[in-house]
């Protein structure tokens, strides 16, 4: 296949919000398309009406947009093979199912769900391996069929899987894979409500949308022999297959919610950068070499190859993701970081803080915390004191390390005078003024600075004191110092 003919698709079913595993599939397809100058198609496989989840399509598209996985054909933009929602292509599938009945590759099955359930129970009782179907209707005559139809039974259409022989296909990651046909059941292609099953719709669309490579999670591997047989029944050439390795949690069990694998957009809400998720997901089952962790979008497009997709399961390590997010945060220019953190501040700061926030001020605030933060959410979480007018904190915090109320009041009153009179309210001046104050009042600098930290921030741990004070500003620092003096003068219970 010439490289320009690559057409790959991401074909999610809107049965839930997309998670890490789903989007890793989308990303690998996108990378492969962009690397090879091909097309990335999004197709929504929404034929299972009973499992449809409200809002899932929007979440899927929003997840792709958030990561910058633009699609060349699909929802919202259309393309040469519209529509891209399977629920709008039902006639096509019905026609193809009928075609297979006509040419003897499929048949109508009239079995009720009760009969099927009973059949399975009996199989289990006989200790046979339980099959989904015993082929009861495979050879019904036309006469028998019209009798059943006359009773008002609406049949399904099942595929006539060859009874013996083997089906082999080549997987670009795993090599040749062979299944015994005897292990495959006569799967349903068209349900009695006229909706296709996943298998029929999926291969009809892959064929009619001229998909060149099917890259999907390896949980679909056992469906592939069925698909290959269906292609043969239609006389079509199957696409090339690449089944992506499973993603495991750090405890080596299949990745699940308890490993932090929630909906992809939860990572956005928790303050992960999209370029980090992009980088991190690309390495879940693919690698550039044995050592590269941090690799940007353009390099990924440049170097992505099917050859370097691993056969073995990938391990999702949230610690590594956190580390990577912190690493990317540290690389950002503070102004840019502030812009990106701004929506998190707007959302998370206490409601009494006036909006809209000043991005220049936010930039000063984030600069003080850039070294340590692992997510964008941590900035507003640790920063309310930069924005509030009045602080609340337990009075005990003022009396740490043997500090008496009287001493603290004395120190803070003297501090207020200095803060009021210092010419420039900047780091250097604040440091020199406060150091000399400590000396003059015969108190350890650590004690004075610790006290001031509580007064200015309401907490015992905060970014460096003088930098913080310079950002909070003279007026608010003074107000806080005076409020503390007042508090220390009030009755001891307050
Ligand atoms: N609709 C299937 C899914 O949700 C697509 C599987 C495939 O790519 O063939 O994963």
- What mean pLDDT do residues 184-199 have? 96
Confidence of residue 433 (pLDDT cuts 50, 70, 90): very high
Q: Which of 257, 347, 354, 444 is catalytic?
A: 257
What is the pLDDT, as a whole number, of residue 463? 93
Give bridge partners of residue 169 from the DSSP assignment.
Answer: 177
What would the two tokens of residue 375 be? 């997510």
Query: How many Å lie between the centroid of ligand 1 and the Cα of residue 215?
Result: 9
pLDDT in tens, 337-352: 999 999 999 999 999 9
Q: Which band of pLDDT confidence, cut at 50, 70 and 90, is reported for residue 493?
A: very low
Average of per-residue pLDDT across 407-413 = 97
pLDDT at residue number 453: 97
DSSP secondary-structure letter at 85?
A: B
Q: Tell me the CA distances in angstroms from 245 to 67, 173, 175, 309, one per residue in order.
A: 21, 9, 13, 8
pLDDT single digits (tens) 132-157: 899 999 999 999 999 999 999 999 99
Domains assigned to the chain: 3-77+247-315 (3.40.50.620), 89-205 (3.90.800.10), 332-386 (1.10.8.70), 395-490 (1.10.10.350)
What average pLDDT score do residues 427-438 get?
98
Q: What is the pLDDT of residue 4?
A: 54
Region 2-18 average pLDDT: 88
Average pLDDT of every residue of the chain: 95
* Residue with CA at minimum distance from ligand 1 atom 3: 12
The whole-number pLDDT of residue 253 equals 87
- Spell 70-105 as b/e; 16+ CB within 10 A means b: ebbbbbeeebebeebbbbebbebbbebbeebbeeeb
pLDDT given for residue 1 in this prediction: 41
The reported pLDDT for the residue numbered 494 is 42
Q: Are 41 and 9 in contact (CB under 8 A)?
A: yes
0.85 surpassed by pTM: yes
Ligand 1 center from residue 330 Cα (angstroms):
37
Q: Which residues pair with 243 in a beta bridge?
A: 216
Higher pLDDT, 251 or 59: 59
Query: Above pLDDT 90, what percent of the chain?
Result: 92
Q: What pLDDT is attached to residue 490?
A: 84
pLDDT of residue 129: 79
The response to whether residue 205 sits with its C-beta less than 6 Å from ligand 1 reads no
**The predicted structure's pLDDT at residue 401:** 85
Ligand 1: distance of its center to the CA of 13 in Å?
7
Q: Is 374 labeled as catalytic in the residue annotation?
A: no
Q: Cα separation of 272 and 268, whole Å?
A: 5
Q: Which residues contact 54 (CB under 8 A, 6 or more apart)?
A: none
Residue 324 has pLDDT above 80, yes or no: yes
* Cβ–ligand 1 contact at 13 (below 6 Å): yes
pLDDT band at 251 (very low <50, low <70, confident <90, very high): confident
Residue 440 burial by Cβ neighbours in a 10 Å radius (0-12, 13-18, 19+): exposed
Q: Could you tell me the pLDDT band of residue 260, with boundaries at 50, 70 and 90?
A: low
Q: 394-433: string of b/e by CB count within 10 Å (b at 16+)?
A: eeebbbeeebeeebbbebbebbbebbeeeeebebeebbeb
What residues are paired with 217 via a beta bridge? 244
Q: Which of 15, 16, 29, 45 to mutate to test the pocket of ligand 1 (most atoms within 8 A of CB)?
A: 45
Q: What pLDDT is recorded for position 132?
A: 85
Residue 453 Cβ < 6 Å to ligand 1: no
Confidence band of 480 (pLDDT split at 50, 70, 90): very high
pLDDT of 491: 61
The pLDDT of residue 262: 78
Tens-digit pLDDT profile for residues 12-49:
999 999 999 999 999 999 999 999 999 999 999 999 98
Instruction: Tell me if 11 CB under 6 Å of ligand 1.
Output: yes
407 vs 32: CA distance, rounded Å: 68
């Amino acid at each position: 296949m010439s490289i320009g003919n690559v057409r790959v698709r991401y074909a999610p079913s809107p049965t839930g919000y997309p998670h890490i595993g789903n989007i890793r599939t989308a990303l690998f397809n996108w990378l492969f398309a962009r690397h090879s100058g091909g097309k990335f198609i999004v197709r929504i496989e929404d034929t299972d009406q009973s499992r449809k989840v409200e809002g899932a399509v929007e979440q899927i598209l929003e997840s792709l947009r958030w990561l910058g996985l633009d699609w060349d054909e699909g929802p919202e933009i259309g393309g040469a093979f519209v529509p891209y929602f399977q629920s709008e292509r039902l006639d096509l599938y019905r026609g193809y199912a009928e075609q297979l009945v006509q040419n003897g590759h499929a048949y109508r099955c009239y079995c009720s769900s009760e009969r099927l359930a009973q059949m399975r129970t009996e199989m289990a009782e006989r200790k046979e391996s339980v099959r989904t179907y015993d082929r009861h209707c495979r050879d019904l005559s036309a006469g028998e069929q019209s009798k059943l139809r006359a009773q008002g039974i609406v049949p399904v259409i099942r595929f006539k899987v060859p009874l013996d022989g083997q089906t082999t296909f080549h997987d670009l990651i795993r090599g040749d894979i062979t299944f015994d046909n005897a292990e495959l059941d006569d799967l349903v292609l068209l349900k009695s409500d006229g909706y296709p099953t996943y298998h029929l719709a999926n291969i009809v669309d892959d064929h009619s949308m001229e998909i060149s490579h099917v890259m999907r999670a390896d949980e679909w591997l056992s469906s592939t022999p069925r698909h290959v047989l269906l292609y043969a029944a239609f006389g079509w050439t199957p696409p090339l297959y690449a089944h992506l390795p499973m993603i495991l949690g750090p405890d080596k069990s299949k990745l699940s919610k308890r490993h932090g694998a929630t909906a992809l957009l939860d990572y956005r809400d928790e303050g992960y950068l999209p370029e980090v998720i992009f980088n991190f997901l690309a390495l879940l089952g693919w690698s550039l070499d044995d050592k590269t962790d941090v690799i940007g979008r353009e390099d990924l497009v440049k170097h992505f190859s099917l050859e370097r997709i691993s056969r073995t399961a990938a391990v999702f390590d949230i610690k590594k993701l956190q580390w990577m997010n912190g690493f990317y945060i540290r690389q950002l220019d503070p102004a840019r970081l502030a812009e990106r953190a701004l929506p998190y501040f707007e959302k998370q700061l206490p409601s009494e803080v006036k909006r809209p926030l000043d991005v220049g001020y936010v930039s000063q605030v984030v600069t003080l915390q850039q070294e340590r933060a692992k997510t964008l959410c941590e900035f507003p979480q640790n920063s309310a004191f930069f924005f509030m007018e009045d602080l609340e904190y337990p009075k005990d915090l003022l009396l740490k390390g043997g500090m008496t109320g009287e001493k603290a009041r004395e120190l803070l009153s003297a501090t207020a005078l200095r803060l009021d009179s210092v010419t420039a309210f900047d780091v250097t001046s604040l440091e020199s003024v406060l150091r000399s104050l400590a000396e003059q009042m015969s108190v350890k600098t650590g004690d004075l600075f610790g006290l001031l930290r509580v007064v200015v921030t309401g907490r015992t741990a905060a970014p460096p004191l003088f930098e913080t004070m310079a950002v909070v500003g003279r007026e608010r620092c003074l107000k806080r110092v005076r409020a503390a003096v007042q508090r220390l003068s009030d009755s001891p219970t307050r």
